[in-house]
């Protein structure tokens, strides 16, 4: 209770590596923090050319799930870009100025969430605002050989989604998002990787994870 009470009194800053893009996250205590080892998150880090900085030693991405209504950009939104590994894949946002990962969303605002990659949140300790990691997912894709990290806390992420993202769909909060226009279109056009580009990145992920 003490952590949540303190978090409500302040915003958590979001900032790209060079400082061009800045935002604030309200109601940080309502977020859900997870460690994702999936191949796609690893591929995104390699696409940005900074896997050693973005991923942990076994290829995990520290991700904070929040409602887009709690995200407000304060400067540099023109440098916000997005990409998709495949034509129908998640939309993955990053700063075009310095290739800092921002987060991932679906291509529609109707399912209201964004998974923020911790690299853009490190101006302040994550634990102070969001608390500890609560779930470990897609651990079968972790690098570093056996044994793999244990998958746990998945039910926590599922409960968060139903309690927050689906609620926003029904009460209209999904419309409050800085990443989509009023007509439901993305504010930036995603760059979709070619099959050759994706194959090269997948090869880099395989080489890195062993």
What is the per-residue pLDDT across 2-38, written as a single tens digit (0 to 9) for each?
Answer: 444 443 446 899 999 999 999 999 999 999 999 999 9
Report, as an integer, the average pLDDT of 36-60.
97
What's residue 162's pLDDT? 87
Give 172 or 4, the one with higher predicted confidence: 172
Beta strands at 191-192 and 80-84: parallel, antiparallel or unpaired: parallel
**Residue 43 and residue 73 in contact, taking contact as beta carbons nearer than 8 Å:** no
What's residue 4's pLDDT? 43
Task: List, for residues 120-130, the tens digit of each pLDDT value.
Answer: 999 999 999 99
With 90 as the cut, is the pLDDT of residue 196 above it? yes
What's residue 10's pLDDT? 67
**Percent over 70 (pLDDT), the chain:** 95
Whole-number Å distance between alpha carbons of 206 and 151: 21
Q: Closest by alpha carbon to 200, among 118, 76, 85, 95?
A: 85
Across all residues in the chain, what is the average pLDDT? 93
What's residue 9's pLDDT? 47
Give 144 or 15, the one with higher predicted confidence: 15
Report, as an integer, the average pLDDT of 57-63.
96
What's residue 1's pLDDT? 41
Report, as an integer, the average pLDDT of 177-186.
96
Label residue 70 by pLDDT band (50, 70, 90).
very high
Whole-number Å distance between alpha carbons of 43 and 155: 25
Q: Closest by alpha carbon to 63, among 84, 88, 45?
A: 45
**Percent over 90 (pLDDT), the chain:** 86
């Amino acid at each position: 209770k003490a952590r949540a009470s303190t978090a409500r009194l302040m915003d958590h800053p979001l900032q790209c590596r060079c400082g061009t893009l800045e935002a604030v996250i309200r109601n940080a205590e309502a977020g859900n923090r997870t460690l994702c080892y999936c191949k796609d998150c690893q591929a995104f880090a390699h696409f940005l050319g900074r896997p050693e900085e973005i991923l942990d030693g076994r290829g995990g991405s520290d991700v904070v799930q929040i409602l887009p209504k709690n995200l407000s950009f304060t400067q540099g939104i023109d440098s916000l870009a997005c990409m998709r590994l495949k034509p129908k894949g998640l939309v993955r946002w990053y700063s075009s100025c310095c290739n800092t990962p921002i987060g991932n969303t679906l291509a529609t605002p109707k399912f209201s969430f964004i998974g923020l990659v911790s690299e853009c949140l490190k101006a302040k300790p994550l634990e102070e605002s969001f608390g500890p990691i609560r779930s470990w997912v897609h651990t079968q894709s972790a690098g570093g050989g056996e044994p793999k990290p244990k998958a746990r806390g998945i039910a926590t992420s599922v409960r968060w989604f139903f309690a927050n993202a689906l609620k926003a769909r029904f009460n209209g909060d999904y419309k409050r998002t800085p990443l989509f226009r009023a007509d439901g279109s993305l504010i930036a056009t995603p760059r979709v990787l070619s099959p050759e580009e994706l194959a090269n990145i997948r090869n880099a992920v395989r080489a890195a994870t062993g």
